[in-house]
Amino acid sequence: MWKYVVRRTLYMIPILFGVTLITFLLFNVAGGDPAAQMAGKNATAERIEEIRVLYGFNKPIHMQYLDFVRQIVTFDYGRSISSKQKISTMIFGESPELSPVLTSLSLTLPAFLLTLLITISIALVLTVKRGSKLDKSVMVICLALLSFSSLVYILVGQKWLGYELGIFEISGWDPSWTERWRYLTLPTIIFVILSLGSNILFYRTIFLEEIFQDYVRTAKSKGLGQKVILFKHVLRNAMIPIITLVVIQMPFLILGALLTEAFFGIPGLGGLIFQALNEADFPVIRAMTVLITIMYMVFQLITDVLYSVVDPKVTLK
């Protein structure tokens, strides 16, 4: 396994090199003059030249790429064009309470774990009750949940639960660990509701595939109970697709929920990306693109390793 991990880690280097090259070409070559775009439509020639010198766009193209690679290796992504802050500080924060990464995880991690528990439980019940009125009713509800945009849930939740009933905070933020939960409750509920439809359908499908396998019929013939079959056999044998879905979602948990954070005023990575897109803050967008790539490759490796842990038949070569 360790040989496989080392080999896969080495494979990441050329992949990351290719991603950095494509990202660099898209932002610095294919998109036109990045200094002019960052300066805005009404910027003067002096302002454009100032940005060109400040961010090194006046250097030869190969030197600009080498500077970009150096930033990635040293985790020093320069400064934001809009806020003038160091991008590394904007991403990781000056303290745990002010860290956008931990702020995003404060929202997405509890919501994700709650969604996982609810959807797997419902999917197991529907597997047992397959074809029943309950199963059909829940399927219709899941399809209905998938039919609406995430914006609908956010706006309805803010107006009804926040403004009309006054149960939750509509927007705002308190960085302290004891007070931030007042502002995270409604976004967490919306995050869970957004994920219910797709996750229930996914887990129900993989559980139904397992319930008709030969090992289940053998377990029933031995007189094993329904709960034992579901939790000891079906759930265990369905772990590979579950792990695939769970681990692939991990980078997005760290990155936060872009629209949810933006609409609720939560200063996480999702809000940071949203703001950078609105302000054409290319250095921030470029840094986040590379970080997303690194996280995705790391979690893909974790997925492969977990496959061999949950299923001894899987060998890593």
Q: Which residue has the tokens 């492969």?
A: 304
For 15-52, the pLDDT digits (tens) are: 888 888 888 777 766 656 677 766 767 777 777 777 77
| Alpha-carbon span 60 to 47, nearest angstrom | 20
Q: 166 in the Ramachandran plot: left (φ > 0), alpha (ψ -120 to 50) or beta?
A: left
Tell me which residue range forms the domain holding 22: 2-92
Number of structural domains in the chain: 2
Q: What single string gives the DSSP state of each residue in 159-221?
A: IIIIIIS--S--S----STTTHHHHHHHHHHHHHHHHHHHHHHHHHHHHHHHHTSHHHHHHHH
**pLDDT score for 312:** 62
Question: What is the pTM (predicted TM-score) of this model?
Answer: 0.78
Final residue belonging to a domain, choices 40, 69, 92? 92
110 and 141 in a single domain? The answer is yes
12 and 141 in a single domain? The answer is no
Report whether pLDDT(200) > 90. yes
With respect to residue 292, please indicate whether it lies within any of the assigned structural domains: no
Residue 79 φ/ψ, nearest 5 degrees: -120, 150
With respect to residue 275, please indicate whether it lies within any of the assigned structural domains: yes
**pLDDT score for 213:** 82
**pLDDT score for 122:** 92
The answer to whether the beta carbons of residues 224 and 216 sit under 8 Å apart is no
68 and 111 in a single domain? The answer is no
Residue 86 φ/ψ, nearest 5 degrees: -70, 135
Report whether pLDDT(210) > 90. no
239 and 131 in a single domain? The answer is yes
